[in-house]
Amino acid sequence: MEYISPISSAVMAVIWIVYFQLFLIQYQRNNRPYMVIHHAQNENPDALCLLVNMGKETIHVQCVQVVLQTRSGEERTLTVTEYRRVGADDSNVHQVLRQGPLQPGGYLVLGSFRNIILGRRSDDSDSDSDYLFEDVTAVEIRAAVVHGPSRYAVGVRRRFWLRHDGASEIFPRDIHSEQLNRRRHRHEVRRWLETELCPQ
Protein backbone atom coordinates (compact mmCIF):
# COMPACT_ATOMS: atom_id res chain seq x y z
CA MET A 1 0.00 0.00 0.00
CA GLU A 2 2.90 2.38 0.66
CA TYR A 3 3.73 2.29 -3.08
CA ILE A 4 0.28 3.41 -4.23
CA SER A 5 0.70 7.07 -3.32
CA PRO A 6 4.05 7.60 -5.15
CA ILE A 7 2.80 5.71 -8.21
CA SER A 8 -0.43 7.71 -8.37
CA SER A 9 1.56 10.95 -7.99
CA ALA A 10 3.87 9.91 -10.81
CA VAL A 11 0.89 9.02 -13.04
CA MET A 12 -0.76 12.37 -12.33
CA ALA A 13 2.53 14.17 -13.11
CA VAL A 14 2.77 12.37 -16.48
CA ILE A 15 -0.84 13.25 -17.29
CA TRP A 16 -0.24 16.92 -16.48
CA ILE A 17 2.91 16.95 -18.60
CA VAL A 18 1.02 15.45 -21.55
CA TYR A 19 -1.81 17.98 -21.16
CA PHE A 20 0.70 20.83 -20.97
CA GLN A 21 2.46 19.67 -24.13
CA LEU A 22 -0.86 19.38 -25.99
CA PHE A 23 -1.85 22.85 -24.80
CA LEU A 24 1.51 24.29 -25.89
CA ILE A 25 1.29 22.64 -29.32
CA GLN A 26 -2.25 23.93 -29.82
CA TYR A 27 -1.24 27.44 -28.70
CA GLN A 28 1.73 27.53 -31.09
CA ARG A 29 -0.42 26.25 -33.93
CA ASN A 30 -3.12 28.86 -33.34
CA ASN A 31 -0.62 31.72 -33.14
CA ARG A 32 1.60 30.67 -36.04
CA PRO A 33 1.11 32.72 -39.21
CA TYR A 34 -0.43 30.93 -42.16
CA MET A 35 -0.55 32.55 -45.59
CA VAL A 36 -1.84 31.32 -48.91
CA ILE A 37 -0.76 32.38 -52.39
CA HIS A 38 -3.98 31.72 -54.24
CA HIS A 39 -4.31 31.08 -57.96
CA ALA A 40 -7.86 31.84 -59.09
CA GLN A 41 -9.60 30.59 -62.23
CA ASN A 42 -7.60 27.42 -62.78
CA GLU A 43 -4.83 27.57 -65.42
CA ASN A 44 -5.67 30.96 -66.92
CA PRO A 45 -2.55 33.22 -66.82
CA ASP A 46 -4.81 36.28 -66.75
CA ALA A 47 -6.34 35.08 -63.47
CA LEU A 48 -5.72 37.07 -60.32
CA CYS A 49 -3.08 36.07 -57.80
CA LEU A 50 -3.99 36.68 -54.15
CA LEU A 51 -1.95 36.72 -50.95
CA VAL A 52 -4.35 35.61 -48.21
CA ASN A 53 -3.80 35.88 -44.44
CA MET A 54 -5.33 32.75 -42.95
CA GLY A 55 -3.74 33.28 -39.53
CA LYS A 56 -5.43 34.63 -36.41
CA GLU A 57 -3.24 37.73 -36.12
CA THR A 58 -2.47 40.71 -38.31
CA ILE A 59 0.64 40.50 -40.47
CA HIS A 60 2.62 43.34 -42.03
CA VAL A 61 3.69 42.71 -45.62
CA GLN A 62 7.23 43.96 -46.21
CA CYS A 63 7.88 42.74 -49.74
CA VAL A 64 6.45 40.57 -52.49
CA GLN A 65 8.80 39.19 -55.12
CA VAL A 66 8.62 36.98 -58.20
CA VAL A 67 11.43 34.75 -59.43
CA LEU A 68 11.28 33.83 -63.11
CA GLN A 69 12.91 30.96 -65.01
CA THR A 70 13.21 31.39 -68.78
CA ARG A 71 13.77 28.97 -71.63
CA SER A 72 17.42 30.02 -71.83
CA GLY A 73 17.98 29.03 -68.18
CA GLU A 74 18.15 32.63 -66.99
CA GLU A 75 16.73 33.47 -63.55
CA ARG A 76 15.30 36.89 -62.73
CA THR A 77 14.05 38.26 -59.43
CA LEU A 78 11.53 41.09 -59.67
CA THR A 79 9.58 43.09 -57.13
CA VAL A 80 5.80 43.06 -57.30
CA THR A 81 5.52 46.82 -57.01
CA GLU A 82 1.79 47.19 -57.19
CA TYR A 83 -0.79 45.32 -55.21
CA ARG A 84 -4.04 46.19 -53.49
CA ARG A 85 -5.12 45.80 -49.89
CA VAL A 86 -8.60 44.43 -49.31
CA GLY A 87 -10.21 43.93 -45.90
CA ALA A 88 -11.79 40.67 -44.86
CA ASP A 89 -15.29 42.13 -45.31
CA ASP A 90 -14.49 44.73 -47.97
CA SER A 91 -16.07 44.09 -51.36
CA ASN A 92 -14.02 46.74 -53.20
CA VAL A 93 -10.34 47.13 -53.87
CA HIS A 94 -9.87 50.51 -52.22
CA GLN A 95 -6.19 51.36 -51.99
CA VAL A 96 -2.95 50.71 -53.85
CA LEU A 97 -0.04 50.02 -51.50
CA ARG A 98 3.55 48.89 -51.60
CA GLN A 99 3.56 47.39 -48.13
CA GLY A 100 1.10 47.34 -45.28
CA PRO A 101 -0.87 45.48 -42.63
CA LEU A 102 -3.12 42.61 -43.58
CA GLN A 103 -5.89 41.66 -41.16
CA PRO A 104 -6.92 38.04 -40.43
CA GLY A 105 -9.06 36.84 -43.30
CA GLY A 106 -7.88 39.70 -45.52
CA TYR A 107 -6.07 39.41 -48.82
CA LEU A 108 -3.87 41.36 -51.20
CA VAL A 109 -4.64 41.36 -54.90
CA LEU A 110 -1.18 41.03 -56.44
CA GLY A 111 -2.48 41.39 -60.00
CA SER A 112 -2.86 38.89 -62.80
CA PHE A 113 -0.15 36.29 -63.27
CA ARG A 114 0.61 37.69 -66.72
CA ASN A 115 1.14 41.22 -65.39
CA ILE A 116 3.17 39.99 -62.42
CA ILE A 117 5.44 38.00 -64.74
CA LEU A 118 5.85 40.81 -67.24
CA GLY A 119 6.40 43.44 -64.55
CA ARG A 120 3.61 45.70 -65.72
CA ARG A 121 2.55 48.63 -63.57
CA SER A 122 -0.90 49.03 -65.15
CA ASP A 123 -3.36 47.32 -67.43
CA ASP A 124 -2.30 49.14 -70.58
CA SER A 125 -0.46 47.51 -73.47
CA ASP A 126 2.98 48.94 -72.64
CA SER A 127 5.39 46.65 -70.85
CA ASP A 128 8.62 47.54 -69.10
CA SER A 129 10.02 44.02 -69.60
CA ASP A 130 12.65 42.97 -72.16
CA TYR A 131 11.43 39.38 -72.49
CA LEU A 132 8.27 37.71 -73.76
CA PHE A 133 5.69 35.98 -71.64
CA GLU A 134 6.24 32.87 -73.76
CA ASP A 135 9.92 32.82 -72.70
CA VAL A 136 8.98 32.12 -69.06
CA THR A 137 8.77 28.45 -68.09
CA ALA A 138 8.50 28.65 -64.29
CA VAL A 139 7.72 31.24 -61.64
CA GLU A 140 8.00 31.49 -57.88
CA ILE A 141 5.92 34.06 -56.00
CA ARG A 142 7.10 34.82 -52.48
CA ALA A 143 6.37 37.28 -49.70
CA ALA A 144 8.15 38.33 -46.50
CA VAL A 145 5.98 39.55 -43.63
CA VAL A 146 6.30 40.57 -39.99
CA HIS A 147 4.06 38.64 -37.61
CA GLY A 148 3.12 39.82 -34.14
CA PRO A 149 5.88 40.97 -31.79
CA SER A 150 8.57 38.78 -33.39
CA ARG A 151 11.66 40.61 -34.63
CA TYR A 152 12.15 38.03 -37.37
CA ALA A 153 10.30 38.10 -40.66
CA VAL A 154 8.52 34.98 -41.90
CA GLY A 155 7.82 34.02 -45.47
CA VAL A 156 5.56 32.17 -47.84
CA ARG A 157 6.15 31.01 -51.40
CA ARG A 158 4.51 29.01 -54.11
CA ARG A 159 5.92 27.76 -57.40
CA PHE A 160 4.17 27.47 -60.75
CA TRP A 161 5.13 26.18 -64.19
CA LEU A 162 3.96 27.46 -67.55
CA ARG A 163 3.01 25.66 -70.74
CA HIS A 164 2.94 27.51 -74.06
CA ASP A 165 1.39 25.00 -76.46
CA GLY A 166 -0.94 27.30 -78.36
CA ALA A 167 -2.63 29.27 -75.59
CA SER A 168 -0.41 29.80 -72.55
CA GLU A 169 -1.40 28.05 -69.31
CA ILE A 170 -0.03 28.18 -65.76
CA PHE A 171 -0.15 25.37 -63.19
CA PRO A 172 0.93 25.16 -59.53
CA ARG A 173 3.71 22.71 -58.72
CA ASP A 174 2.06 21.91 -55.39
CA ILE A 175 -1.42 22.32 -53.95
CA HIS A 176 0.00 24.06 -50.85
CA SER A 177 1.79 27.35 -50.25
CA GLU A 178 5.11 26.67 -48.51
CA GLN A 179 5.30 28.32 -45.08
CA LEU A 180 8.75 29.62 -44.08
CA ASN A 181 8.16 30.35 -40.39
CA ARG A 182 10.74 28.22 -38.59
CA ARG A 183 14.17 29.08 -37.26
CA ARG A 184 15.93 27.40 -40.19
CA HIS A 185 14.11 29.70 -42.63
CA ARG A 186 15.16 33.00 -41.06
CA HIS A 187 18.29 33.49 -43.12
CA GLU A 188 16.53 32.88 -46.42
CA VAL A 189 13.64 35.25 -45.67
CA ARG A 190 16.13 37.85 -44.43
CA ARG A 191 17.96 37.57 -47.75
CA TRP A 192 14.72 38.39 -49.60
CA LEU A 193 14.34 41.54 -47.53
CA GLU A 194 17.97 42.56 -48.00
CA THR A 195 17.67 42.34 -51.79
CA GLU A 196 14.55 44.50 -51.52
CA LEU A 197 15.57 47.09 -48.92
CA CYS A 198 19.37 47.20 -49.43
CA PRO A 199 20.25 47.98 -45.79
CA GLN A 200 23.67 49.47 -45.00
- In what side-by-side order are the strands of the sheet with 48-53? 35-39, 48-53, 107-112, 83-86, 96-97
| pLDDT the model gives residue 97 | 45
Q: 1 and 37 share a domain?
A: no
Q: 14 and 79 share a domain?
A: no
Q: 84 and 3 share a domain?
A: no
Check whether 139 has a pLDDT greater than 90.
yes
The stretch 30-41 carries a mean pLDDT of: 85
Check whether 11 has a pLDDT greater than 90.
no
| pLDDT the model gives residue 17 | 79
pLDDT in tens, 54-85: 998 899 999 999 999 999 889 999 988 666 66
Q: 118 and 169 share a domain?
A: yes
| pLDDT the model gives residue 123 | 46
For residue 47, give the 3-state DSSP assignment: coil
Residue 39 belongs to what domain range?
33-197
Using pLDDT thresholds of 50, 70 and 90, give the confidence band for residue 50.
very high
Overall number of domains in the chain = 2
The stretch 97-123 carries a mean pLDDT of: 78
Q: 17 and 43 share a domain?
A: no
Are 137 and 161 contacting, i.e. CB atoms less than 8 angstroms apart? Answer: yes
Q: 1 and 91 share a domain?
A: no
The stretch 154-181 carries a mean pLDDT of: 94
Q: 152 and 126 share a domain?
A: yes
| pLDDT the model gives residue 187 | 94
Q: 14 and 94 share a domain?
A: no
Task: Please give the Cα distance from 82 to 61 (Å, whole number).
Answer: 13
Task: Please give the Cα distance from 63 to 65 (Å, whole number).
Answer: 7
Pairing of strands 48-53, 153-163: unpaired
Q: 113 and 177 share a domain?
A: yes
Q: 26 and 81 share a domain?
A: no
Check whether 180 has a pLDDT greater than 60.
yes
Closest CA to 195 of 139, 150, 153: 153
Q: 109 and 176 share a domain?
A: yes
Q: 21 and 57 share a domain?
A: no
- When mean pLDDT is compared across 18-22, 143-147, 160-164, the lowest value belongs to 18-22
